[in-house]
Structure 1
């Protein structure tokens, strides 16, 4: 049984019992991913590191260079 089958069973049961329908599968995926990203950023700040990792910093620098703008000098 997959998530869709379980959702259909739960919807049927809720309709028969007069309860509110459960949320659709995947309805809160974006919120969960945002919360995970925010938590990781928070943990990095607590550890004394920049909120973004080296991959994000390198990607932003590369995109800025490709866009024709020179990267801003980093302040120490």
Structure 2
């Protein structure tokens, strides 16, 4: 925030346009990161979407034991 104030002051003195407010491009940046991860997942042959849901479903579904429990 302090850097933005300094840059705004400098721009006003030089007659230049003010810099964007901090956080202006955060959503676009996060969207770009998400899209890049999806793209890399597709290139690697993994699911591009729903990976978290698939992982949770895998963890929450009952699995059959590799060895049946011993009968007593």
Unaligned runs of 5+ residues in structure 2 are 58-72
How far the C-alpha of 1:58 sits from its partner, in A, is 5.3
Counterpart-to-counterpart distance in 1, 2:16 and 2:5: 14
- Is the counterpart of residue 57 in structure 1 residue 65 in structure 2? no
Which residue, out of 38, 41, 45, partners 2:42?
45
Q: Which runs of 4+ in 1 moved over 6 A?
A: none
Unaligned runs of 5+ residues in structure 1 are 62-76
Counterpart-to-counterpart distance in 2, 1:13 and 1:39: 35
> CA RMSD, aligned part only?
1.7
Counterpart-to-counterpart distance in 2, 1:55 and 1:39: 16
Counterpart-to-counterpart distance in 2, 1:20 and 1:12: 11
- Is the counterpart of residue 20 in structure 1 residue 30 in structure 2? no
Between stretches 22-31 and 50-59, larger displacement belongs to 50-59
Q: TM-score, normalised by structure 1?
A: 0.67
Aligned counterpart, 1:71: none
Larger radius of gyration: 2
